[in-house]
Amino acid sequence: MGRYGKILLELSLHERYQDASNANEFFLHPTTVDHYIDKCYSKRCLLHDSNTRKSPQKMIKSITRQFEKLFNKHNDPSIKDDSSDLPTNSSDNGESTEEPTLTITFEVLMETLESITYQKEMPENLQGSVLIDETYVVPPKVLNHFLFVPDSQFMKELEAIQGTTDVHEGSWEWKYSQMPSLIRTVSYTKGATKLVKASKVTEEQTYVKANGKEFAVLVRVDTPHVPYGSTFQVKLLYKIMQGPEISGDETSRILVSWEIDFYQTTMMKSMIEHGAKQGLKESFEQFYDLLGQTFKPANQLTILDKSQMLETLQNEHGSDWGLAVGYFCNFTVASTLFMVLYVLVHIILCEPTRVQGLEFNGLELPDSFGEMITCAIILYHLEHTYIMVSHFVQARLRRAGHDHGIKAQGDGWVLTVAIIEGTNFAPLDSSGFSDPYVVLTCSGKTRTSSVKLQTLDPQWNEILEFDAAEEPPSLLDVEVFDFDGPFGQAASLGHSEIRFLRHTTQELSDMWVPLQGRLAQSFQSKLHLRIFLDNNNGVETIKEYLTKVEKEAGKKLNLKSPHRNSTFQKLFRLPPEEFLVGDFSCSLKRKLPLQGRLFVSSRIVGFYANLFGHKTKFSFLWEDVENIHVLPPTLASVGSPILVMVLFKGRGVDARHGAKSQDEEGRLCFYFHSFVSFSSSSRTIMALWRTRSSNPDQKTDTFVDKTVAFQDQPGKDDKCSCEDVISHLVFEDSKMSKIYSEELPVNVMSVMEIFKGGDFEHKVMGKLCRLDYNTTNWEPVTGRSDTLERHLCWKFNRRASSFGGDVTCTQQKSRVIDGKGWIINEAMSLHHVPFGDYFYVQLRYEVVDSRPGWCMCDVFVGVVWLKSCKFEQRVTRNIVFKFGDWIREMFEFVGREVDGHS
């Protein structure tokens, strides 16, 4: 019998599960054993000199003993390793008889665990809170190996940063309870803090899931040597999951949550929870920073570049044929085509009959009521189909938004918003649809999308840009309206407010915004936006902004170092574009004064304090601040003046724990005192607030004064700078509506002052929200010596029309026949409003003497349509109503001014 032979191994492992009904047997087939041994050798798991020949009998015995250890086939603790029974000296033929040691690598352990826990569900987050939730450009398997491999270089660097010493890391071993899992123990000494001295910490790390793409590690942390450490245990759950593939690269999402379990009740429970939360938060901030230095966060990928995203957007427009098929594939069109085809076939197949009744050759009338009803139904369907075709053609050929495609101008912070689509808008028309359009407002500037006709799920795919600003914007107001004419009080379909500092660049680049409001919340309306904020002037924009603040504050401001900026951004979790302007040591006055630091930047006010480990942190926007005033020093403020910041009602809710009080109007009030230099600090703070709060909308009240001074500016051209309007002065009285008729207690000459182009006219037009009002001089009309003509142009204030819009018009005036009054005819064109080139507005003023010191004023208005439009009646009604209010307000102001001067 030879020395060599074969042995057949058959190993089985019986496991008990929690559910007895699902108990089964974990069976390892002999071929699986051979495959596993080959894998171990192929991965160089056997740490032994391969040139040394080994006895097959001893090798088989060694492998059998290793499998007994691996699968715990014998649970009897009396069984001992019999390796001591084997000789360790060399045999007679010079071969080494020492038994080789089988060491399994971390990769092999993971592969084995994956085959066992593949079907297991990913555990839920722990109840405490989420410490980290970030996506990195790295495969999940690589990230798992990077963090939890024995002697991880990442963990060593993290321990050095956190001051951890005496680290003892155990090896990963199999644990058999309900399911096989890997477990190891790590012990170390945590560095001392302000509240707790250095203490011994023990972590038990257990893999609860691994399938190659998802990993979950539960960590139980015991700190028996800290105060009350024997009464609680902290749990951490690391979850590594596969993220979305970006530009062909795999990504991993790591999510770390925590909770604390108490073994017994203690009065210090809330304090222990707060202290644990603060300690974990600081520790994982360092974890987050160090991990970001090795792997690139997904939100920094070039795939999210603005130009690439917008280029993709521009390719998403559907074809006209595809839209037509979706629009006309309905019962109405199909039934109309069928009935028309049926009638045509009937006419072709019908034989001629004799003429009878009132008929004559060439005309055949219906012979029965059935035929009359059929003709009426066909005409109704044809009319309805014609309206549908007309609406579709108008919607495709006419884009009613004047801001679409306008490029941003200037250097600084450029805001670009792509409006993609909307869903579930409320139906307001009798047809069961709406005509929605979007109005975006940022830093006092407004952009308006086109109007989408007859839809509840509009598709815009439009790009709107705001002109460059010196400081980064904080808020974007979004509101969706239902179109009801250029001057209508359009019904709101929903609104929302986007705060840039609360969203990452990745979130802003593709976000669904839920709309607020009664109608929007009832129908769960949403708007799909892509938002990009870029600085096209680099650091020069920041320097220009600081120069502006310096002039307001009257003091020099220096740009902070990159390190201080970075610390400030991490402290309040701000985006990279936010820059620190100044920070001041001061006290926050609440029930008890709290010493800390006040940080001010271009967009926020933030306060931070750390009193014996108890941290207080809050922030709010400059736009949230309604008023800032100074209170005189008191005994409670230690002889220091108090700077009080009052927020608008409903603003700064996240910072309410830092407010001292809430006034009778529900506004939060924040009190700061004990500044090192109150004068210098308050000047900087007031300058920043004035700079941010001053926007074009807030300056409209001062427009009247500016327009009065307009005529006095030297070198000002008296010619209208707007486009020349086409004069449409063929009036038809039958198509005009009288919108004003009143006898005023002033003479004709006083009323005609509003048509002379002087200071009085500019003052009146300023009250009517007409911006940049400009006129030319009256000149004789060629061939009509008794008629004078001039041109005007202005812009509508946003309060007058949500679209804004420019106006150019021509006025002609002539005396009435008896010479006791004037007639002024005016043709007005509206630019940059929906359907503005479809119509023009005609006005006719008749001002005549009625009795001494009194005059009669009649005003007529009409709308002349150059093209057919579905909204003719709606727009005409809206213009007549709005101009009626303006004319009434204008003559009332004239009456008050004349009475005041008299």
pLDDT of residue 392: 61
Q: What does the alpha-carbon distance between residue 396 and residue 418 come to, in Å, rounded to a whole number?
A: 19
The whole-angstrom distance between residue 427's C-alpha and the CA centroid of its chain comes to: 25
Copy the structure tokens of residue 43.
Answer: 């991965």
> Where is 644: in which H helix or E strand?
strand 642-647
Q: What is the pLDDT of residues 293-310, one digit of tens each?
A: 888 887 654 444 566 666
Residues 802 and 451: their CA atoms lie apart, in Å, by 13
Tokens of residue 254, six digits: 């790591």
Using alpha carbons, select from 757, 710, 741, 749 the residue that is nearest to residue 898.
749
Tens digit of each residue's pLDDT (9 = 90 or more) over 616-631: 999 999 989 999 999 9
Across 34-48, 53-67, 122-136, the highest mean pLDDT is recorded for: 122-136
Instruction: Name every residue whose Cβ is closer than 8 Å to that of residue 471 and which is 6 or more positions away in sequence.
Output: 413, 545, 602, 603, 691, 692
Beta bridge partners of 427: none
Would you tell me how many other CB atoms lie within 10 Å of the CB of residue 808? 19
- Domain ranges for the chain: 106-296, 413-535, 564-696, 737-900
Q: Give the pLDDT of residue 185.
A: 94
Distance (Å, rounded) from C-alpha 143 to C-alpha 307?
Answer: 31
Element (H, E) at 41: helix 30-42
Average pLDDT over residues 70-98: 44
Compute the distance between CA of residue 452 and CA of residue 33 in angstroms, rounded to an integer. 68
H/E segment holding residue 764: helix 759-767
**What is the C-alpha to C-alpha distance for residues 298 and 139, in angstroms, rounded to an integer?**
12
- pLDDT at 331 > cutoff 90: no
417 forms beta bridges with 464, 531
Which residues have C-beta within 8 Å of that of residue 609, sequence separation ≥ 6? 588, 594, 595, 596, 597, 615, 616, 617
Give whole-number Cα distances, 237 to 133, 222, 510, 710, in Å: 12, 15, 29, 69
- 504-544 residue pLDDT tens: 777 888 889 999 988 888 889 999 998 988 887 767 777 78
Q: Are 243 and 254 in contact (CB under 8 A)?
A: no
141-155: pLDDT as tens digits: 999 999 999 989 999
Q: Does the structure show a pLDDT above 90 at 598?
A: yes
Residue 394 makes CB contacts below 8 A (sequence gap 6+) with 453, 869, 870
Nearest-10 crossing angle of helices 140-148, 153-162: 50
Residue 847 β-bridge partners: 822, 857
Which tops the pLDDT comparison, 302 or 444? Answer: 444
Tens digits of residue pLDDT in 780-824: 887 777 889 999 998 887 667 766 778 888 899 998 877 788 999
With 0-12 / 13-18 / 19 or more C-beta atoms within 10 angstroms meaning exposed / middle / buried, residue 830 is: buried
Q: Which of 233-242, 313-322, 444-453, 848-857 has the highest mean pLDDT?
A: 233-242
| 832-842 pLDDT tens trace | 787 787 888 89
Do 667 and 626 contact (CB within 8 A), yes or no? yes
Of 830, 901, 824, residue with least CA distance to 864: 830
From first CA to last CA, the distance across the chain in angstroms is: 138
For residue range 579-597, what is the model confidence (pLDDT) as tens digits?
899 999 999 998 888 999 9
Same fold, 413-535 and 564-696: no
Mean pLDDT, residues 450-472: 85
> Sign of torsion, CA 593 599 605 609?
negative
CATH of range 413-535; options 2.60.40.1840, 3.40.50.620, 2.60.40.150, 3.40.50.970: 2.60.40.150
Element (H, E) at 889: helix 872-901
Query: Which residues, in sequence order, are bridge partners of residue 846?
Result: 823, 858
Burial class of residue 505, CB neighbours in 10 A (0-12, 13-18, 19+)? middle
What span, in angstroms and rounded, lies between the C-alpha atoms of 645 and 668? 8
Determine the longest span between alpha carbons in the chain, in angstroms: 145
For residue 299, the model assigns a pLDDT of: 60
Cα dihedral across residues 308, 310, 316, 319: positive or negative: negative
Average pLDDT (329-334) is 75
Model pLDDT for residues 715-725, shown as the tens digit of each residue: 334 444 544 44
CATH number of the domain located at residue range(s) 106-296 in this protein:
3.30.530.20
Q: Provide mean pLDDT across the span 666-693.
A: 89
pLDDT, residue 9, reads 54
Query: Judging by beta carbons within 10 Å of its beta carbon (0-12, 13-18, 19+), is residue 430 exposed, middle or buried?
Result: exposed
What are the φ and ψ backbone dihedral angles of 783, each rounded to 5 degrees? Answer: 85, -5
User: Taking 80 as the threshold, does the pLDDT of residue 261 lie above it?
Assistant: yes
Enumerate helices (H) and strands (E) in the chain, giving the number of each. 19, 36
Question: What percent of the chain has a predicted confidence (pLDDT) above 90?
Answer: 18
Average pLDDT over residues 265-289: 84
Q: What is the distance between the alpha carbons of residues 391 and 43, in angstroms, rounded to a whole number?
A: 71
The whole-angstrom separation of Cα 520 and Cα 524 is 6
Q: What is the pLDDT of residue 103?
A: 61
Which pLDDT score, from 0 to 100, does residue 104 have?
75
State how far the alpha carbon of 60 is from the alpha carbons of 5, 37, 42, 95, 327, in Å: 11, 11, 18, 17, 77
What sign has the CA pseudo-torsion 687, 690, 696, 702?
A: negative
Residues linked to residue 216 through DSSP beta bridges, in sequence order: 209, 239
How many residues belong to the chain?
902
Asked if the model's pLDDT at residue 54 lies above 80, the reply is no
Q: What amino acid occupies position 236?
A: L
Those residues whose C-beta lies under 8 Å from the C-beta of residue 696, and which sit 6 or more positions away, are: 444, 445
Mean pLDDT computed over every residue of the chain? 77
Q: Give the residue, 44 or 867, on which the prediction is more confident.
A: 867
Q: Is the pLDDT of residue 76 over 70?
A: no
How much is the pLDDT for 193? Answer: 66
Architecture of domain 737-900: 2-Layer Sandwich (3.30)
Element (H, E) at 594: strand 594-601
* Sign for the pseudo-dihedral over CA of 51, 56, 59, 60: positive
pTM surpassing 0.75? Answer: no
Q: Among 469, 449, 453, 451, which Cα is nearest to 405's?
A: 449
- Nearest Cα to 9, choosing from 73, 98, 52? 73
Which residues have a Cβ under 8 Å from the Cβ of 743 and sit 6 or more positions away?
850, 854, 855, 856, 857
Distance of CA 479 to the CA centre of its chain: 14
Higher pLDDT, 329 or 265: 265
Confidence of residue 91 (pLDDT cuts 50, 70, 90): very low
List beta partners, residue 445: 442
Query: Are the C-beta atoms of residues 792 and 809 closer than 8 Å to each other?
Result: yes
State both tokens at 517: 């409001």
Q: What is the 3-state secondary structure (H, E, C) of 133-146?
A: EEEECCCHHHHHHH
Query: Can you read off the two tokens belonging to residue 555?
Result: 């003091």
- Which residues, 6+ apart, have CB-to-CB distance to 882 below 8 Å? 487, 488
pLDDT recorded at residue 650 = 87
- Mean pLDDT is highest, among 401-410, 423-432, 662-671, for 662-671
Look at domain 564-696 and name its CATH class: mainly beta
Q: What is the mean pLDDT of residues 665-670?
A: 92
Per-residue confidence band for 64, with pLDDT thresholds at 50, 70 and 90: low
Chain segment 4-49, per-residue pLDDT in tens: 555 555 554 444 434 433 333 333 333 443 444 344 444 433 333 4
Residue 780 burial by Cβ neighbours in a 10 Å radius (0-12, 13-18, 19+): exposed
Query: Is 52 buried (19+), middle (13-18) or exposed (0-12) by CB count in 10 A?
Result: exposed
Q: Among 19-23, 287-291, 509-513, 634-638, which is the least confidently predicted range?
A: 19-23
Residues 6+ apart with CB under 8 A from 567: none
**pLDDT of 527:** 94
Q: Break the chain down into helix, strand, coil percent, rounded to 5.
A: 35, 30, 35
- Rounded Cα distance, 257 and 236, in Å: 6
pLDDT, residue 697, reads: 39
Mean pLDDT across the stretch 181-205?
A: 84
In this prediction, residues 861-881 reach a mean pLDDT of 84
User: With bands split at pLDDT 50, 70 and 90, how would you rate the model's confidence at 445?
Assistant: confident
**667: nearest Cα among 681, 656, 677:** 656
